[in-house]
Amino acid sequence: MNSQRVLNITTTLITRIPCGGSQFPARMASSGAEKLLNMQNINPNVLTMEYAVRGPIVIRAVELEKELAKGVKKPFKNVIKANIGDAHAMGQKPITFIREVFLYKILSCLSNPSLMDKGIYADDVVDHAKTILGDCGGHSAGAYSQSVGVDIIRKHVADYIKRRDGGIPSDPENILLSGGASESIRNVLKLFINRKASKPAGVMIPIPQYPLYSATVEEYGLGQVGYYLDEDNGWALDVEELERALKEHECKFDVRVLCVINPGNPTGQVLSEKNIEEIIRFAYKHRLFLMADEVYQDNIYGEGCAFHSFKKVMCSMGEPYSKMELASFHSTSKGYMGECGMRGGYVEVMNMCPEVYTQFKKMISAKLCSTVLGQAVVDCVVNPPRKGDPSYDRWVSEKNAVLGSLKERAKLVQEAYSSVKGIECNPVQGAMYAFPKITLPPKAIEKAKAMGKPADVYYAMELLESTGICIVPGSGFGQRPGTYHFRTTILPQPAVMKDMLERFTAFHTKFIRENS
């Protein structure tokens, strides 16, 4: 066959062309050595999106771990991963109530319902599992749940929110369960994409921010409207700066969304009630849809700090504020639980236009549903023991121990970094991170420039290669031009933390000396 012969000749000719650089017409056949999907024609937004929390530094850290395991000599014995809020991976013990008392029994009943008739588990466990299965198709966790989640679990979440907010009602119909909070955040942002609009929708996000936001905004082709947090003022969120940022970007984007992370990630500040009121007024004035990332709502350490949900503040302000559109996110991954791998999360949607909400539910239905077992983990987290329950005292003491230890480490980290010359670190009032500022000598900045790298990336890579400490450079979160930072978690256990801070101080002193 003639065309086949032509193909074969072509094949021979182009065998050596790498996949990165096609100069061939789009419809010309190749050997496969020249790839159909290549770096020239891949989704450009995928190319430009960055998710630093799992970026190149972290990939190198994993390689180093593997090298160490193979016996390769390094100037350190182990890698310390302070890059991600992954509590269990950093040695935090799961809560006994969740794991040993409740969850595994519920999961066992969900995955093997025959256990429920065998008298193995207490009646309350069996009843609870039966209640969940009663809302599952065919009474099986193997059936798809509703796309919004299992009804009874949505109700339990609503009850939990109502207790959290001092009795302000929460409607289960407004709760949508998802595989972690990230999925919900991405789902809500997706509603604002409009390829046909003259200007993309602008999304206000803090600088520094959690890179899920910048990555998603970039992936979706939305407009990033960064507002700076005030580092000199403990990373405060200043409404004047919101006004400035909005004004600066209004010509380029149709600014429609305001994202607030409270407690802050990577910055650790906790917003006061008064500050939240101002932010709500700002959003009202400028007709911005509010997204409140409140996944660290249990992680409050600062003296005099307390968590106030946007919903509670909005409701207590009365109309018109109480009627504003808001999406608030929570997760099983953070808090004292740290159940990241279970992928449990939800969004509570307030005052959304009913027709839009119908469209939203239609949109997520194409993904069918989030994991029923992950939903069961959410159920467990929002159903902790109550006073009088046999597990109550132990649960309280473990919860307090985890949060107390995080509070100590928050203080330890801030004090340790602040004591190093050339480093400034704000107090960590909440969440799981510190975001210290490093003053880098001009020589280091020049070196990095010559290598085509941001100076903080160069610094972080040097730190990793010299000490095994894996942190994330500030450029992955955003920072004021000319300033350099890094994000470190406060999750390493106390002994590891001490080791980490010693390694860090020695490295930093040497780095500054060598580059001065």
Q: Which of residues 334-363 bind a copy of itself (CB under 8 A)?
A: 337-343, 351-356, 359-360, 362-363
Could you tell me which stretch among 3-11, 409-417, 437-445, 500-508 binds a copy of itself (CB under 8 A)? 3-11
Burial-class residue 351 by CB neighbours within 10 Å (0-12, 13-18, 19+).
middle
Give the pair of three-digit tokens for residue 228. Answer: 């700076």
Compute the radius of gyration of the chain from its Cα atoms. 25
Which 95-134 residues touch a copy of itself, going by CB under 8 A? 99-100, 103-104, 107-108, 111-115
- Closest by alpha carbon to 335, among 51, 94, 80, 163? 94
Site track 274-293 with a copy of itself (rule: CB under 8 A), x = hit? ----------xxxxxx----
| Interface map 306-325 toward a copy of itself (x if CB under 8 A) | -------------xx--xxx
Position 374 contacts a copy of itself (CB under 8 A): yes
| 242 lies in the site for a copy of itself, by CB under 8 A | no
Rounded-to-5 percentages of helix, strand, coil across the chain = 45, 10, 40
174, 182, 467, 488: which one contacts a copy of itself (CB under 8 A)? 182
The edge-to-edge listing of strands for the beta sheet with 345-350 is 175-178, 345-350, 326-331, 289-293, 254-261, 201-207, 223-228
Partner residues linked to 178 by β-bridges:
345
In the region spanning residues 18 to 77, those forming contacts with a copy of itself, defined by CB under 8 A, are 19-20, 26-33, 35-39, 41-47, 49-51, 54-55
Stretch 458-497 residues interacting with a copy of itself (CB under 8 A): none
**Nearest approach, Cβ of 422 to a copy of itself (angstroms)?**
32
Decide: is 443 part of the binding site for a copy of itself (CB under 8 A): no
The residue within the footprint of a copy of itself, chosen from 79, 82, 90, 161 (CB under 8 A), is 90
Beta bridge partners of 511: none
Per CB under 8 A, the list member of 74, 162, 186, 453 interacting with a copy of itself is 186
- Residues 411-440 interacting with a copy of itself (rule: CB under 8 A): none
Q: Does 195 bind a copy of itself (CB under 8 A)?
A: yes
CA-nearest of 76, 53, 50 to 64 is 76
DSSP H stretches of helix in 15-141: 44-48, 56-69, 96, 104-111, 123-134
Between 8 and 509, whose beta carbon lies closer to a copy of itself? 8
Q: Is 373 in the site for a copy of itself (CB under 8 A)?
A: yes
DSSP per-residue letters across 374-427: HHHHHHHHTSPPPTTSTTHHHHHHHHHHHHHHHHHHHHHHHHHHHTSTTEE---
Q: Do 477 and 228 meet the contact criterion of CB atoms below 8 Å apart?
A: no
Give min distance, CB of 179 to a copy of itself, in A. Answer: 6
